[in-house]
Structure 1
Amino acid sequence: MRLNLITRFRALFKRKLAPKKVIFIGIDYLCFSLSKSLLDNNKHTEQQIEIAAFIDDEPWNNRTKVNGATVYSPSEITALVIKRDVDLIIRIQGESIKIADNIWENIIKTDANIITLQQDQDIATMQKIIYQAC
């Protein structure tokens, strides 16, 4: 009984980790599915993920919402990384979004990590890689 009470007490006062903020480059089905699974997994993991934004170069997608996050154009990514204090940028190999070299150079100057996932990886493997990068 006493041990159970102590365990509950610790759980109440346990410091929660700040969510890791991520940006997804792309809004295709794989990005959507992966982002949704990360959000769903927040209920079951200590390290939470917050999706700060999605990046897409199609003008008709600009300022729309995907899984609660706004879609921005590639030219806005550096400002988003700085303004939102983004921890991780996730891109999937084969995504056709074009981001200029000078924008990548500016992103590399920030503290954000960049990971590239493979299209043939399953969602669970992708999640594992993301949590390791966080």
Structure 2
Amino acid sequence: MLDKILNAFRNSKWRGSSFIIVGIDFVEHQLAQALIERGGKIIAFIDDEPWSHKTEMLGATLRYPSEIEALAQRHHVQAVVTFNQRAELLPDECIKQLSSMNIPTVQMDPNLSLEEQLNTISSTLDSYEQK
């Protein structure tokens, strides 16, 4: 019973939250799946390979890095998430533009556990809500 209540509480925090995930490797897939399971929505995955453009993963379309800002604005995303090894897909200028739109860029170490990744996103969102 307590587990059900705790899961409902955890899920409600993510419900309605939209994210863009930079990268399409296992670590990005795993995090995206966890966000979806908790009620979040993945707007797009970002990849620069032309053969993967506009294919789908977990119901979200793969897009080019040049599309991040427009997608973030159009879909009112709560955060853009990237792992350290994917920094080349998210240029500094894009990060500045997202920041000016009050959209955080969450950069994290891929060696973090899934719970640590979710906690990092959660704390980033909490700090942006307080602004």
* Cα distance in 2 between the residues matched to 1:123 and 1:90: 13
Q: Could you tell me how far 1:131 is from its partner in structure 2?
A: 2.3
Q: Could you tell me how far 1:98 is from its partner in structure 2?
A: 3.0
Count of matched residue positions in the alignment of Structure 1 and Structure 2: 113
Give CA deviations for 1:23-76 in whole Å, capped at 9, x if unaligned: 101111100011112212x2xxxxx31111111111111101111111110001
Give the match for residue 38 of structure 1: 35
Code of the residue aligned with 1:116 in structure 2: it is Q
Residue 81 (structure 1) aligned with residue 78 (structure 2): no
Moved over 4 A (4+): none
Change in CA separation of 1:114 and 1:103 when aligned onto 2, cut-off 3 Å: closer
Matches within 5 A, 1:1-134: 19-40=16-37, 42=38, 48-95=39-86, 97-134=88-125
Q: Could you tell me how far 1:95 is from its partner in structure 2?
A: 2.0
Percent of matched pairs sharing the same residue: 25
Structure 1 unaligned segments of length 5 or more: list them.
1-15, 43-47
Q: Could you tell me how far 1:117 is from its partner in structure 2?
A: 1.1
Give the match for residue 7 of structure 1: none
CA RMSD between the two structures: 1.8
Structure 2 unaligned segments of length 5 or more: list them.
1-11, 126-131
* Cα distance in 1 between the residues matched to 2:87 and 2:120: 22
* Cα distance in 2 between the residues matched to 1:101 and 1:112: 14
Q: Which of the pair has more CA radius of gyration?
A: 1
| Contact 1:25 1:97 survives alignment (8 Å) | no
Higher helix share: 2
TM-score (norm 2): 0.77
